Structure 1
Amino acid sequence: MPGMRHAFRALRHRDFAIFWSASIASSSGTWLQNLAVPWVLFQLTGSALWVGLATAALSIPMVLASPAGGALADSNDPRRVLVVTQSLMALVALLQCLNWLYGIREPWAVLCLVVLVGLLNGLTQPSWQSLVNRLVPREDLRSAVTLNSMQINVAKAVGPATAGVVLAVAGAWAAFLVNALTFVAVLVGLLVMRADTRGVRLEHRVTALRGLVGAGGYVLRHPALRLTLICSTLIGLLGYPVLTFTIVMAEEAWDVGSTGMGALNVALGLGAVAMGPVLAGWERFLPRGTVMRFGLPVYGGAVLCFGLSPSFGLALVALVVAGAGFFSASNSNQTAAQMIVAENMRGRVLALKLMTFMVAASVGSAVQGAVADAVGPRVTIATAGALLIVVAAVLHLLPARIGLARLDDPQDTT
């Protein structure tokens, strides 16, 4: 298929290939931790609310740190920023391991270290996204952004599968240790790069607050970028909490334990990985607005079906479809932001976009967790999926000047 030949073309560039390969290992460790923490909290408390609080403990600090992360990304070499932040995240993962080994297992103690992870993630992500842009020429940027999203979703399959086995065989301490070790791969990858990743030099360094205000004003002036923030909010608020609900459903709906929880998350990852080459290979024929137009309602419908699934097998099928829908919607949205934003605003705008998503995800997870404790997880998940379908229909009906077609706007060169 001619489109498939172009799907992986960004990997022709040595430094991007190194970074991408190392990122799979590191992201797999991150997703292992992302499952281990809420699993541990659910085992300690038996409450879906605490599972939602795990997301909030990760997301809110990310939001607070993201303006500083955006300013760092635009004022410094993002590769150097990542060497520092990834080293610190490895140390925090080791602390999580040691806490568990020494019997410090109170829920608040678990959440305190998650807060540190969130702060470091907020400093990391804008530089991570900016670095992707600096490792490939513009004609291969869409392939690079899609492949970067795809490696995250490969990690969503590998990390949870590993988490299910490690938690069942060795326990939480081993899961945290494995996560710490995976940071070695990305650190080595960053250190052996040859490319000049400094990007456009600013005339002055940007403070976190000034960068956030500047990014907000810039986005308000550009309808396409405003739309990417709206889509990020909807996905985070209504769709993203399904990731944490796999833990609750594994225990309460089907009683399949940590291995079943891992399988549910592997299904999500597999659906996304299957969709990645399609979007990357056929980017010339698939406008980003069209991908969002179909991906968002598919995601909502699959979440709805997951909530109503009468059996574990059908739930797995629903999550494969949900993974494909989530990848389509989130990747088209992320690619639009990367392709449209001006080069000298990239880090700060991506930080603002990350903040928007994480606020929505933390609020959505906490609220849906509380609702699930009151009315049950099935009703909560199904309702969120139905609402996602409704908002997708509203976006579909918006006039072209403010609608999904704006996701295909050209890059801002002003």
Structure 2
Amino acid sequence: MRNIHDTTNFRALDPSLVRDLLEDLDRDKPPAKNWQALQHRSFAWLLGAALLSNIGTWMQNTAQAWFIYETTRSPLYLGLDTFLMLSPLFLLAFPSGTIVDRFDRRRVFLAASLAQIACTACAAMLFLTGRQTVWALLSLSFVAGVGQAFANVAYVALIPRLVPTRALPQATALNSLQLSLARMVGPLAAGGILLWLGPAACYAANSLSFMVLLVMALRVKERPPEAPTMDAFAKITRPLQPLRELSLWQALAQEVRQLRHYLKRRPGLIEVYALCFVVTFFGGCVPVLLPSHVRGVWNGAAWLYTVLLGLYGLGTVLGSLYIAQRPKPIGGGRRALYLTGVTSASLLAFALMPSPLMGAMAIIAIGGALIALLSQLTALVQFGLVDEVRGRVMSLFLVTFQSGYALGGLAVGAIATRMSTATTILACGVALAVVAVGGRWLDSRLSES
């Protein structure tokens, strides 16, 4: 097992690459100052529109999860909803990465977003006409997930076109921050709207927020492409054949070979992917099971569910701010293992809390530790990544990220139908504890940084 403490373990590279890389690092410009990425107007406007759109998405997701549980009273359907929503994101991650690298990223993003708007509008009409059913909503979740599979990769690959290379780590951190803010504000807003206007209003609000994002994506201006700042990593990826010289099907067939070529020359990157899958598989159990836990364990109403989900979002904001102050990837692997342990302890605490008030403190810690961990892993993957392969490498990262959430959600939903939600969450916490301790102590190379 390679050193997971530092995916930039230069000793594992060829000596010539080490020399070139160190020279490039010496010549590299200093990192951007705090919030300097927001001075680039295209990035700032797109970030604001993405925040509004993600708030709408969380309003819809919150309303849909509560409606499904209130209708079925089964945690299995909560897990199935999560699985159908996220499964296209990993099933189509490879094709989406290839298409993003082959075609115009902005157009791919716009087309995928239009598909999501259509699904959201259809769901709103079902509620307005009184024809909503669980299976209709689950089907629309899957179709919207297909659009999201392409939109996510295109959006991530578009960010480096809006800011200079030295501001990219900060732009990535700010993007994680807006996702966290949406997780906090969206459920809280959904609580009030559910109470006064019903689920249809949440779906309608999400449709409007998507339209704002589309308008802003059409208006932003991309920067001219920059030469890679790290020539050593450019040399690593130079043998990769440009996708535009191949047909679409040839490009898809060659993508796995190209990724293998790149991964063999990025020590520790496979371990980052593996850790990402494990922590999302076990660590994402609380948002999935929260409606069942609130109703079954604490006999709470919809407002309690939305407040706790909003506090989970507050934790993700705090976790994103923590990582934003530590943008350097050196030593990030050790920090990732530490955050895995913190996530485990938070899950154990939440499962054992006897009241919602005490559970509120634990759920803040869960959200903070988990998003800090995932942000750290994202920064490790992005480090030294040249633009020519960014879509493909990030699509592989999204495979591990989303498959962990989707498969984990389905698994914990099925388990919680036979066991209590508290026991299921407790088991997930124990599993992450084993991963954290094992990753730190079972391999002597893990102590190197």
Q: CA RMSD in A?
A: 2.3
**What is the letter of the counterpart of residue 357 of structure 2?**
G
What are the equivalent positions in structure 2 for 1:251-270 lying under 5 Å apart? Answer: 251-270=295-314
- Any idea what SS the aligned residue of 1:223 has? coil
Number of the residue aligned with 1:79: 106
Write out per-residue CA displacement over residues 256-277 of structure 1, whole angstroms, 9 at most, x where no aligned residue: 2221111111111111212323
- Any idea what SS the aligned residue of 1:105 has? coil
1:117 to 129, 144, 150: 144
Distance 2:444 2:59 in 1: 41
1:213 to 251, 256, 269: 256
Number of the residue aligned with 1:363: 407
Number of the residue aligned with 2:245: 204
Distance 1:224 1:189 in 2: 37
CA 1:141–1:400 in structure 2 vs 1: closer, same or farther (change >3 Å)?
farther
Structure 1 residue 398 displacement after superposition: 5.4
CA 1:287–1:11 in structure 2 vs 1: closer, same or farther (change >3 Å)?
farther
Distance 1:15 1:168 in 2: 37
Structure 1 residue 341 displacement after superposition: 3.2
Number of the residue aligned with 1:282: 326
1:228 to 272, 296, 303: 272
Residues 285 and 428 of structure 2 are in contact (CA less than 8 Å); yes or no, is this contact kept in structure 1?
A: no
Flag as ranges the 4+ runs of structure 1 deviating above 6 A. Answer: 197-201
Distance 1:229 1:282 in 2: 20
Distance 1:377 1:10 in 2: 42
- Any idea what SS the aligned residue of 2:222 has? coil
Number of the residue aligned with 2:131: 104
- Any idea what SS the aligned residue of 2:163 has? coil
What are the equivalent positions in structure 2 for 1:297-312 lying under 5 Å apart? Answer: 297-312=341-356
- Any idea what SS the aligned residue of 2:298 has? coil
Residues 160 and 263 of structure 1 are in contact (CA less than 8 Å); yes or no, is this contact kept in structure 2?
A: yes
2:173 equivalent to 1:150: no
Give TM-score scaled by structure 2 length.
Answer: 0.84
Number of the residue aligned with 2:236: none
Residues 167 and 175 of structure 1 are in contact (CA less than 8 Å); yes or no, is this contact kept in structure 2?
A: yes
Number of the residue aligned with 1:51: 78
2:153 equivalent to 1:126: yes
Alignment gaps of 5+ in structure 2:
1-31, 228-241
Number of the residue aligned with 1:410: none
Distance 2:195 2:113 in 1: 28
Larger radius of gyration: 2
Structure 1 residue 244 displacement after superposition: 1.2
Residues 96 and 395 of structure 2 are in contact (CA less than 8 Å); yes or no, is this contact kept in structure 1?
A: yes
**What is the letter of the counterpart of residue 430 of structure 2?**
A
1:30 to 57, 79, 83: 57
Write out per-residue CA displacement over residues 309-346 of structure 1, whole angstroms, 9 at most, x where no aligned residue: 11101111001111110121000001111124332221
**What is the letter of the counterpart of residue 68 of structure 1?**
P
Distance 1:63 1:98 in 2: 29
2:293 to 246, 249, 254: 249
Write out per-residue CA displacement over residues 54-103 of structure 1, whole angstroms, 9 at most, x where no aligned residue: 01111222222222211121112212211221122112110110112222
Distance 1:211 1:352 in 2: 14
Residues 96 and 110 of structure 1 are in contact (CA less than 8 Å); yes or no, is this contact kept in structure 2?
A: yes
Residues 130 and 347 of structure 1 are in contact (CA less than 8 Å); yes or no, is this contact kept in structure 2?
A: yes
2:117 to 77, 80, 90: 90
Distance 1:348 1:211 in 2: 11
2:357 equivalent to 1:316: no
CA 1:134–1:46 in structure 2 vs 1: closer, same or farther (change >3 Å)?
same
Structure 1 residue 351 displacement after superposition: 1.2
Distance 1:139 1:264 in 2: 37
Number of the residue aligned with 1:159: 186
CA 1:282–1:358 in structure 2 vs 1: closer, same or farther (change >3 Å)?
closer
CA 1:31–1:213 in structure 2 vs 1: closer, same or farther (change >3 Å)?
same
- Any idea what SS the aligned residue of 1:375 has? coil
Number of the residue aligned with 2:370: 326
Distance 2:435 2:63 in 1: 32
Distance 2:186 2:93 in 1: 25
Write out per-residue CA displacement over residues 347-392 of structure 1, whole angstroms, 9 at most, x where no aligned residue: 1121122122222222211111111111100000011012112101
CA 1:70–1:154 in structure 2 vs 1: closer, same or farther (change >3 Å)?
same
Residues 227 and 404 of structure 1 are in contact (CA less than 8 Å); yes or no, is this contact kept in structure 2?
A: no
CA 1:11–1:390 in structure 2 vs 1: closer, same or farther (change >3 Å)?
same
Write out per-residue CA displacement over residues 99-148 of structure 1, whole angstroms, 9 at most, x where no aligned residue: 12222222211111001111111111111111122222221111111111
**What is the letter of the counterpart of residue 75 of structure 2?**
A
Write out per-residue CA displacement over residues 27-53 of structure 1, whole angstroms, 9 at most, x where no aligned residue: 111112222222111111000000000
Structure 1 residue 156 displacement after superposition: 0.2
CA 1:404–1:252 in structure 2 vs 1: closer, same or farther (change >3 Å)?
farther
CA 1:384–1:188 in structure 2 vs 1: closer, same or farther (change >3 Å)?
same
Distance 1:251 1:404 in 2: 44
Distance 2:107 2:226 in 1: 12
Residues 162 and 221 of structure 2 are in contact (CA less than 8 Å); yes or no, is this contact kept in structure 1?
A: no
Structure 1 residue 288 displacement after superposition: 1.9
Residues 184 and 312 of structure 2 are in contact (CA less than 8 Å); yes or no, is this contact kept in structure 1?
A: yes
